[in-house]
Structure 1
Amino acid sequence: MKGWILYKTAQSSLSPEAYEIHRFIDVAKKKGIEIEVVCPDQFDLVVTREDRKSILLDGKTVPLPDFLLPRMGAGTSYFGMAVIRHLERLGVYTVNSAQCIDTVKDKLYSQQILAENNLPVPRTMLGKYPIDDELVEKYLKFPLVVKTLSGSMGKGVFLCESKSQFNDLMGLIHVTNPKLNIILQEFIETSRGKDLRVFVVGGRPIACIERSSSDNNFKANFSRGGQVTELAMTPEIKWLATETAKLFGLEIAGIDLLFDGRHFKVCEANSSPGFKGIESCCDIDVADEIYNFIKIRLGRFED
């Protein structure tokens, strides 16, 4: 079985910090899977009816893989998305699909989908200029969270504790990038500095961790130095994670949940979730779980 991992850099340029990619490479060797890490810049796409000759890797026509594993998430560029769509059109099994990646990249659209299907989410507004801070305060109150429409690992997320702080941030954004699309979101106080990450593979939650800030920051991302501990999944946690992944069509997903008193709200879904934090405190091999799922989907039980 042969697979490509679509990443921001090629295999020859991988940094030691690319934990998940190195794990995929190491586990693939143990399972006898031929894996290659490729980046969008290596591809050329040709619109032609000669399907197998319509995609070039490093300027050459090469045998296509059995599967593609995109690992760029919210950072997937237009060209990266075009590569994924093209390989899908050629019949390469892709985990996750271009449509799913594109959907969860847009944080407002994904919140609309969740709300439409009656899943608990923080109240959310699309920011537009000029900002009506009275309207914002009426519907969201302060403090509130300001997010860029696309982002990951806690980047592009700010907490405004007061109206004056909010207006200062809006003024800065307006001066530096008036076309920036942002969303404004209710701040869930009971989840300050902590949240849950549930890892879902093939519709099955396989692990759950609680992430907590180590520097009194309201964000708890492991990539930002947050602490992680394994958490036993309740039926509510399992249901929210499973339903969220299902709504977005994600076969591999990292579902982030916020503590809302004794219950939870869905914060967001990630199409290319990291799993260093999960493997650091849970007795689970995430890369192995993902490869086993891919084998089942491809019917490669004998491999």
Structure 2
Amino acid sequence: MRLVILSRNPELYSTKRLVEAAEQRGHSAQVVDPLTCDLLIEKNLPSVYYKGQVLQGVDAVIPRIGASVTFYGTAVVRQFEMMGVFSATDSQAIVRSRDKLRSLQLLSAAGLGMPKTAFTNFSKQEKNLVEQVGGAPLIIKLLEGTQGLGVVLAETKKAAQSVIEAFHGLKARIIVQEFIKEAKGADIRAFVVDGEVVGAMKRQGREGEFRSNLHRGGTATLIKLSKEEKNAALKAAKTLGLAIAGVDLLQSDRGPLILEVNSSPGLEGIEEATKVDIAGKIIEYIERNQIRKRKNTLKA
């Protein structure tokens, strides 16, 4: 197969591992920066140009689209889909997962547990927002934040009201979320590939830090998920239409609570913690899809 990995940086661990895993299985893998692609849209002949050349003969693409380039990145993925090229992650599923408010609404409608969450259109009722999620302490998140950035722990009602008022004054969209004390600054990342949890790790924030992100000094250890946790992760990925997903959840007294579903989850932390070839699992998923595609073609 000829694979294209849509990534802005070929030196990133996740990008290099996907190239390595593809080549180990006898495939070619080209890293393409989606922001340097030009899209030609015409009747029955959509095409993608990269460095002045048409990208032809591509069997599948693996999107590694960062949150800051979602708009153009997903446009490139859509173009490949229009060309009949298989995408390991559906373009609309990426868009769906990047809209934190929409994704939480969909997960809620699917009956999945999550921390109580409030959103408002710059309402002046900061006190009511605090009460709606159970009072302080509570978490305040920017809708566009990633890797723990734009996430604030407000330990008192007064602090919470002040932070909410400040964000609203800047016209920054936020969600206000219940603080799950019993999680003790830890969360779980379950890595889903093609309807299977292929690895899971528990991430613990460093001392004095409520955020468990590895980018912020957190540590990761292997964890075996309970049946309830595994089912929640699989259902969350399926609800958002993601064949590849990093599902973040909290362990609480009322069961697993979904925090977020990531459509471009990093591979470094999960591979180091689990010692599982996650990149290889992704390539195997694409191989299975190509086999199904050939069988369907022969039947037709």
**Global fold match (TM > 0.5):** yes
Does the 8 Å CA contact 2:127/2:161 hold for their aligned counterparts? no
Matched residues in 2 for 1:110 and 1:300: separation?
30
Instruction: Please tell me the residue identity of whatever aligns with 2:147.
Output: M
Does the 8 Å CA contact 1:73/1:105 hold for their aligned counterparts? no
**Paired residue for 1:169, among 163, 166, 182?**
163
**Paired residue for 1:196, among 163, 188, 191?**
188
Matched residues in 2 for 1:2 and 1:187: separation?
46
**Paired residue for 2:19, among 21, 25, 30?**
25
Is residue 60 of structure 1 aligned with residue 49 of structure 2? no
Instruction: Please tell me the residue identity of whatever aligns with 1:269.
Output: V
Instruction: Please tell me the residue identity of whatever aligns with 1:227.
Output: T
Instruction: Please tell me the residue identity of whatever aligns with 1:4.
Output: V
Is residue 90 of structure 1 aligned with residue 83 of structure 2? yes
Q: Secondary structure at the match of 1:115?
A: helix
Is residue 128 of structure 1 aligned with residue 121 of structure 2? yes
How many aligned positions are there? 293
Q: Paired residue for 2:40? A: 46
Does the 8 Å CA contact 1:27/1:288 hold for their aligned counterparts? yes
Matched residues in 1 for 2:202 and 2:130: separation?
30
Q: Paired residue for 1:278? A: 270
Offset of 1:300 from its aligned partner?
A: 7.8
Does the 8 Å CA contact 1:73/1:270 hold for their aligned counterparts? no
- Of 231-240 and 156-165, more deviation after overlay is shown by 156-165
Q: Paired residue for 1:147? A: 141
Q: Unmatched 5+ residue regions in structure 1?
A: none
Instruction: Please tell me the residue identity of whatever aligns with 1:224.
Output: R
The alignment's C-alpha RMSD in Å is 1.9
Deviations 1:250-290 (A, max 9, x none): 10011111121262111110111112112112131000111
Offset of 1:22 from its aligned partner?
A: 1.3
Instruction: Please tell me the residue identity of whatever aligns with 1:267.
Output: L
Q: Paired residue for 1:4? A: 4
Does the 8 Å CA contact 2:116/2:178 hold for their aligned counterparts? yes
Instruction: Please tell me the residue identity of whatever aligns with 2:234.
Output: T
Offset of 1:23 from its aligned partner?
A: 1.0
Matched residues in 1 for 2:145 and 2:3: separation?
27
Offset of 1:55 from its aligned partner?
A: 2.2
- Of 253-262 and 74-83, more deviation after overlay is shown by 74-83
Offset of 1:130 from its aligned partner?
A: 3.7
Matched residues in 1 for 2:235 and 2:42: separation?
39
Offset of 1:73 from its aligned partner?
A: 4.4
Matched residues in 1 for 2:174 and 2:162: separation?
15
Deviations 1:30-85 (A, max 9, x none): 11111111112221112212515x32111222314111111124333311111111
Matched residues in 2 for 1:191 and 1:59: separation?
51
Structure 2 counterparts to residues 94-243 of structure 1, below 5 A: 94-140=87-133, 141-175=135-169, 177-178=170-171, 180-243=172-235
Matched residues in 2 for 1:168 and 1:85: separation?
42
Q: Secondary structure at the match of 1:299?
A: helix
Q: Secondary structure at the match of 1:119?
A: coil
Does the 8 Å CA contact 1:28/1:35 hold for their aligned counterparts? yes
Matched residues in 2 for 1:77 and 1:301: separation?
28
Q: Secondary structure at the match of 1:199?
A: strand
- Of 189-198 and 57-66, more deviation after overlay is shown by 57-66
Instruction: Please tell me the residue identity of whatever aligns with 2:151.
Output: V
Q: Secondary structure at the match of 1:56?
A: strand
Matched residues in 2 for 1:257 and 1:73: separation?
21
Instruction: Please tell me the residue identity of whatever aligns with 1:211.
Output: R
Does the 8 Å CA contact 2:70/2:95 hold for their aligned counterparts? no
Matched residues in 2 for 1:137 and 1:152: separation?
23
Q: TM-score, normalised by structure 2?
A: 0.92
Offset of 1:190 from its aligned partner?
A: 1.1
Matched residues in 2 for 1:160 and 1:208: separation?
29
